[in-house]
Amino acid sequence: MAWWEAGLRLLLAVVVGCSIGIERERKNRPAGMRTHVLVCVGAALIAVIESMNVAFTQSVNLASPESGVAVSMGRMSAQVISGVGFLGAGTIFVAQKKIAGLTTAASLWCTACLGLAAGMGYYGLAAAGGALVIVTLTLMQRVVHVNQIKHLEVKFIRRAATLAFINAYFEEMGVKVLDVDFHVENKGKDKVYTNLYTIDLPAKTAYKDIVIRLSEYENIEGIRTRNV
CATH 3.30.70.260 domain position(s) in the chain: 148-226
**C-alpha closest to that of 128 among 220, 224, 45, 39:** 45
Q: pTM for the complete prediction?
A: 0.65
Q: What is the mean pLDDT of the chain?
A: 80
Mean pLDDT of 31-58: 79
Q: What is the mean pLDDT of residues 71-77?
A: 63
Q: Which of 17, 3, 8, 6 is nearest to 140 (CA)?
A: 17
Taking the domain 148-226, which CATH number applies? Answer: 3.30.70.260
